[in-house]
Amino acid sequence: HKKADICWRASCQRIAAELRIDPRFDVSAEITRRTQFLMDYARRAGAGSFVLGISGGVDSSVAGRPGVVSVWS
């Protein structure tokens, strides 16, 4: 299991480097940044809401929450 874990970590690190993901990822800062992006986008587009197709799973909830917060703000 150790060898597989090391390979998995190396793959994750390579992918993160290719995507230029900051290893000091700050969850609160990212939520704020992404919510602000959606608010600005809606304002520039003159939109008062978003349409978001969701399945009801965890990924949909995580993706949908910033949209809800940005429209309520």
Split the chain (73 residues) into runs of 10 and give each run's mean pLDDT: 66 85 81 87 87 83 80 74
Count of alpha carbons within 13 angstroms of residue 27, beta-carbon side: 1
What pLDDT shows up at residue 5?
66
pTM: 0.58
What pLDDT shows up at residue 46?
92
CA–CA distance, 54 with 64 (Å, rounded to integer): 8
CA–CA distance, 64 with 56 (Å, rounded to integer): 10
Q: At which residue do the structure tokens 């995580």 appear? A: 62
CA–CA distance, 65 with 53 (Å, rounded to integer): 13
